Amino acid sequence: MSLLRVCSLAKCVGRRSLADVRRCFAERCQLCVSARSGAAGRISETPLYRQRRNVSTVFPKSEDTKKRVHEQSQLLDVLEARIQQLQSDVVLDVQHAKVQFIKAPSFGGGVSSGRTPKGSSKDKSDVSKSGQTVTKGASKSQPSRWMEKLSQEKKNKLKKQQHLQQKMQRIVKEKPLGQSKGSKSSLMATGTSHKTISSAAKKSKADMKLSDKIYAAASSTTAVTAATSAKAAVAPKAPKTKQKDSKSKVSDKEAAKRTTTEGKVKDEDLANVEELKKRLKQQGQDWTSLSTTDSPQDGSQGSLCGDIQLSIRSYLEACVFVGDIERSQSFLLSQHRVMSRRKYLTTDVYNIMMRVWAKRGMLNQIGRIFILLEEAGLQPNAGSYSAALECMGRQQNCSPKVILRCLNKMREDGLSVHDLFSQCVFRQDERDMLLRAIHTVKPDYEPSLSLNASQCSSPLVQDFYTKREHHAYPKLDFTQEELQERFKRQLSVEEACTVTIDSVEGLKPITENMAKMREMLADQRAQWHKVLLQALRESKMILAKTNTKDYKLNLYPYLCLLEDKEYVDIMIQSVTNMPPSGESLKILARDVGNRIYTKYCVRQKHQNQTVEKLGSIYDAYTDLLAKDTKVYNVLPREQWCKLEMEQHSGPTLQGAETTWPYILTLELGTFIVDIMVKNLKINSDILNPAYDRKLIPILYHMYTFRSTRQVGFIKPHPILTQMQQEAMETTLTFDSSVMPMLCPPVPWTSVKFGAYLLTPAKLMRTLDGAMQHEQLLEKCENLHPVFDSLNQLGNCAWRINKPILDIIISIFNERGSDKLDIPPPLSEAPKIPHFHPQDPTYTASEKAHMKREVINAKKKCSEMHSLRMDALYKLSIAHHMQDELFWFPHNMDFRGRTYPCPPYFNHLGSDVTRAMLVFAEGKPLGPKGLDWLKIHLVNLTGLKKRSSLQGRLEYANSIIEDILDSADDPLNGKKWWMEADEPWQALACCMEIANAVRSADPTEFISHFPVHQDGSCNGLQHYAALGRDVIGATSVNLVPCEVPQDVYSSVAQQVEELRARDAAKGLKIAQVLEGFISRKVVKQTVMTVVYGVTRYGGRLQIEKRLKEIDEFPKNHVWDASHYLVRLVFNGLKEMFTGTREIQDWLTESARLISKSGHTVEWVTPLGLPIIQPYHRTRNQVLKSTMQHINLQISHDTKERPDTVKQKNAFPPNFIHSLDSTHMMLTSLHCYSAGLTFVSVHDCFWTHALTVDTMNKICREQFVALHSQPILDELSNFLLHKYCSTIQTEAKTKKYQEYRRLLLLLGKVPQTGDFDLQQVKESTYFFC
């Protein structure tokens, strides 16, 4: 061990950088501790002190070595003092950095123990001043000279300080009394050295409160700054002449004035810091606990380390699942033996094997794993003791003394019996066996499970949860028996994991060629199935026998999770769904891996016996929803939790599955794709007998360029593509999660449980592999309002609007319609020109032109195929569900915005998709319902944006004949509906109005049609409310007006005025734009400016709109878009000054936060924690037999934040989190009022009967939301989150950045005089 220490000392002394000295000492000291104890320990002493102590105790007691130790100890003293003097940024960074373990270098044959033999020749070395290793007889270093130098520096510094103090006293005497009073606080500490201040701050650090630390830090900054400015004021020594003396006096006076001015500025900063101190003392809210917890980037071990831990756990669970216990046990032991791998093992990993041995009743094996835990320096947790007690419960004659000893040991570790039942996840009969063991020594014990009764602390929903006497939760229009039957149907769909449905293209008449191609494809698939089955089995045999290192992960267990046939079905499905242009290998592999994981999760739930328990609880849960049962005064989440608590025996429903890391999903998927590429072949003469017969691959692995990056691609052979296109097959196969649910979704009750019955679903959508969001959610104590809002949205039942569906399918199966957004078939695609690049008849320019034509034609074909297949999927799903009632389970993105889980067919889709959907439950129109239908129709046309509601109603009545004609003869009549902005929804509304008008009593007409109320530029509405901006609030209809204010038209009008002015001055582009500036041209840019669009993005938006205008000269598009985007941005800046101030404050706050090394976090007013996952990209290479896949990972918490993305994204993401909060509040209160409510972000839907009630709730909740001190609470949260670690070394750049952040976060933008209560009376706020 002494060799290690000598080596570390030699390397440290040889370093020139002090930062390197500290880092080297820290690493070497930690290495010594690690080698001696065999476990990871924290460094409790300073690295320099530990090194000095070690040096003084490990050398032989000879005179030479004692002298050398003394000299080196002196050197360390000098270095330590010098470090304190410099106080450099890099030293501060090293002080706070975690020390990483490194492998000990190999010395010769290696040493098994942690110590080095005394006679080792390695001891006979030293370090010269230059850092080179020399022999023992070489010249020695001279620490005495260094000590003298340090002493001389101290003397010089003391003289300078005394001289400075005298000079400052003379300046104060010469100043007027009033000035000296004002600057007293700035000059009082000028004689105190910076080192003294920082030392005092460090000494009292443990006893100071956070606010006091901030105050002390700011005070020390002021003192040092004053001293610095005073130094600048002191003139250099001059000859003793009168002229020079007078100049010196003048300069002294000017310096004094300058010092006074700067002192006043610093006093203002001190006052701001004092105000911050008061604010920080008043914190007592729930978010404080969130801010004091470690954020994912601080507390987690990074993406790579987390992936390794998940991979180990996933591998062990896969081995256990397939029954390969020997492989799992040897793998765990191999991981445990290798120190570099042991650090990735957690107690839960060891618990996996404990559960295996518990099932077999092998207590001795569990005891051995407890010993492994102790060796690894890990503490047993509740899961460990649960496994041990379960094992005892399975043994018939287990001694009560053994059980008592286990319970006593558990108590010593701070765990109770109650913790076992409340913290552990049980599978099969584990819980019952555990209870049997406890009953052996405690016969009367019963687990006391209670509902989590804690309510959300947000004042926005306190009344919602506590005052329920007037709530009228809606029932579904189904009997309990119907719901239970629907559950069984949905369960069978999810157990199969796939759904095969009829394609709407199958409705076409079958030609002879179509029948021939379908038969040929069926024959080929049967052959491919056999070939793939054989290839898979051979690959598994090879993997099973592969001699790899014990600790290396192997794919073999993952290839045994399912039946071989199921893997082959996944391969065939992937080939069938592949587009003609091919698919990226990374995307294809990810999809294949995810399909395998989904099937594995479903099988796990069967093996764990959770399916039976799920069915029992769901049957009881239907009692809450069904119309033929009693009325409950509880929410779906509360009822489900209550039922789970009542049926506590058996397995736990949630938390039993481990999420596979993204890298594992890709690796497994790539392996499967490789089998497909190598083994799937077809005869080359299958379509043309004239060709020579030979087997050719149907899939090709090739490379293409995406921008500047080379990407691996899997592309189908043209023969396969031609066969599939001509066959127009009658069926499509989807994953079950793509389809809407046939029964109400399982309510979200935790971060990991909700939505589908068996299919795994995420509460929060994240980037592949990002874990920080889930970690943050799991730390959050109460997400009940978020869960309840998602459950309310998911409980809305839907059905298909059959008349609209039939019309759309008829147009789709003919030739499509670009005007009506129905994509045409590929037969309408432009033909790809063929030419030979080597043909000498073409000139170079002609060849270049032909190449561009080919590229454009291929791009057009690819786009048309994508659009056609997207429409085919949506229409086929709608056709399959046309006689069903169905539900969309919901989840959310990291900002809190909600989305339906099924990706293709849902109400967030295009105009075509929305038109096909209506509510399953119908309600009478009532006295005002028909008027709302007519107003909604006019809104869909986009014709009367500036008209009042009464004006829109009158317009609808004036065109009633066109409305009825559209409903009666949509394709051959006047076709008025085709001119609307949203033609298909307009047609659906025409049909609903026609049916209502022609009914006996329109007020009693049962309507299923959803009426929309859309926010008026909702992002700007939130900004105007935050800033209480009167002008901005008026522009976006927060203020009551007789007619709606259209901000888009206002901006267009302002831009037109500026354009006319420039045109009059002779600006050419302004003259070209005459007559082309409209609301439509500027709308998208105005709408997205609030969401962070840049000038570049805005220019692209305007360019797109100008290209859509046929009359606009295309050669001026570039210049015109540049010109217009500048005018739009300038116009918005003038109209929304308060908005710009808040946006700038958010942007600058995010910039400084990310610059300090943190990602931006905040908490919504409903308590949802949000973190921006933008980090600097790191590359990770996945090596496979096919190719090396380069993964660009931008969410690794160990990488520094991406400052540009963090600052640009914070304002729009913050506003999105507010509009999602407003939507959730509205949904909760609509649910309590018995309304049907769904949303498309800032567009709210309900029945025509209840539009007025929804409008009232919507406005009340907006006012309630913005009545909260949102910006102040955000400021307080960010201060606690990012300014709690006080920097006291005022000369450092790091401190200056910290101080800027502190003052910026404490200075919330000022607000205007707008009265929020006016929103309640604003008709056009949402309309």
pLDDT digits (tens, 9 = 90+) for 541-596: 998 887 656 556 789 999 999 999 999 999 999 999 898 888 999 999 999 999 99
Contact 1175, 1199 (CB under 8 A): yes
Confidence (pLDDT) at 73:
58
Q: How many helices (H) and strands (E) does the chain have?
A: 52, 25
Report the alpha-carbon distance of residue 860 to residue 1307 in Å, rounded. Answer: 53
HSE-up of residue 4 (Cα within 13 Å, Cβ side): 27
Report the alpha-carbon distance of residue 795 to residue 284 in Å, rounded. Answer: 36
Report the alpha-carbon distance of residue 1208 to residue 800 in Å, rounded. Answer: 41
Q: Kindly report the number of other CB atoms within 10 A of residue 716's CB atom.
A: 22
Q: Which residue type occupies 287? A: W
Report the alpha-carbon distance of residue 466 to residue 912 in Å, rounded. Answer: 42
562 token code pair: 């399912």
- The stretches of 898-982 forming alpha helices (DSSP H) are 911-915, 926-941, 949-958, 960-968
10 Å CB burial of residue 1226 (0-12, 13-18, 19+) is buried
Distance of CA 1131 to the CA centre of its chain: 34
Question: What single-letter DSSP state applies at residue 1090?
Answer: T
Element (H, E) at 229: helix 210-233
Contact 536, 638 (CB under 8 A): no
Torsion over CA: 629, 632, 636, 638 (sign): negative
285 token code pair: 């809210």
DSSP three-state, residue 680: coil
Strand pairing report for 797-800 and 886-887: antiparallel
C-alpha distances in Å from residue 868, one per residue of 216, 818, 821, 881, 916: 67, 11, 10, 20, 17
The distance in angstroms from the start CA to the end CA of the chain is: 78
Strands (E), 976-1066: 1006-1007, 1010-1014
Report the alpha-carbon distance of residue 47 to residue 12 in Å, rounded. Answer: 11
DSSP conformation letters of 480-539: HHHHHHHHHHHHHHHHH-EEEEE-GGGGSPPPHHHHHHHHHHHHHHHHHHHHHHHHHHHH
Long-range contacts of 576-579 (CB under 8 A, 24+ apart): 576/724, 576/733, 577/733, 578/699, 578/714, 578/716, 579/862, 579/865, 579/866, 579/869
Q: Which parts of the chain sit beneath pLDDT 70?
A: 1-154, 157, 161, 164-165, 167-304, 449-456, 547-552, 1286-1291
- Report the b/e string of 940-957 with b at 16+ CB within 10 A: bbeebbeebbeebbebbe
Question: What single-letter DSSP state applies at residue 706?
Answer: E
Confidence (pLDDT) at 1135:
77
Confidence (pLDDT) at 553:
78
Question: What single-letter DSSP state applies at residue 550?
Answer: T
Cα–Cα nearest to 525, from 569, 559, 468: 569
- Report the b/e string of 635-646 with b at 16+ CB within 10 A: bbbbbbbebbee
Cα–Cα nearest to 55, from 119, 10, 107, 20: 10
pLDDT digits (tens, 9 = 90+) for 1152-1169: 999 988 999 999 999 999
Confidence (pLDDT) at 403:
92
C-alpha distances in Å from residue 84, one per residue of 87, 91, 196, 198, 470: 5, 9, 11, 10, 67
Contacts of residue 598, Cβ cutoff 8 Å, sequence gap at least 6: 497, 735, 737, 759, 760
Angle 1312-1314-1316 (CA atoms, 0-180°, nearest 5)?
A: 130
1012 token code pair: 């929309």
Residue written as token pair 């107690």:
347
Q: Which residue type occupies 15? A: R
DSSP conformation letters of 325-387: HHHHHHHHHHHHHSHHHHTT--HHHHHHHHHHHHHTT-HHHHHHHHHHHHHTT----HHHHHH
Catalytic residues: 1014, 1083, 1242
Contact 1319, 1163 (CB under 8 A): no
Confidence (pLDDT) at 162:
72
Tally the residues of the chain: 1327
1176 token code pair: 């600097």
Torsion over CA: 526, 527, 532, 538 (sign): positive
Q: What are phi and psi of 751, to 5 degrees?
A: -65, -25
